[in-house]
Amino acid sequence: MPDLPEIGILIKRARRDANMTRDHLATLSGVSRARIEALENQRVAETGYNSVLTLLRVLGLDLAVTTFNRGRPTADDLRRENEAERKRVKSPAAAAR
């Protein structure tokens, strides 16, 4: 699970991808522009859970709680491995044509 600084980076990226200003995100979410700026720039040690969830929802993001991994690969890890293997296997065949 990402920590608060990582969530701030994800919020910043999603806001920029949506071509949204901090002022607009503040208006839509009810979270102050100053709080959003501090969160995005990793200058906040703690913030309210509801504020984070509201920001994520406005940006079309979600926060997932999962069982602690303990170093085992996730389904996403295995899918990425599979895709990389398929590309690697296809590459020599494509070169031989």
pLDDT of 25-63, one tens digit each?
Answer: 999 999 999 999 999 999 988 889 999 999 999 999 988
Residue-range domains of the chain with CATH: 4-58 (1.10.260.40)
Q: Which tokens hold the place of 65?
A: 């709680």
Closest CA to 11 of 35, 75, 93, 27: 35
Mean pLDDT of 11-35: 96
pLDDT band per the 50, 70, 90 thresholds, residue 90: confident
pTM of the predicted model, to two decimals?
A: 0.67
CA distances to 1, 8, 26, 59, 79 from 65, in Å: 7, 17, 26, 18, 20
Question: What local confidence, expressed as pLDDT, does residue 88 receive?
Answer: 84
Q: Which tokens hold the place of 25?
A: 């995100």
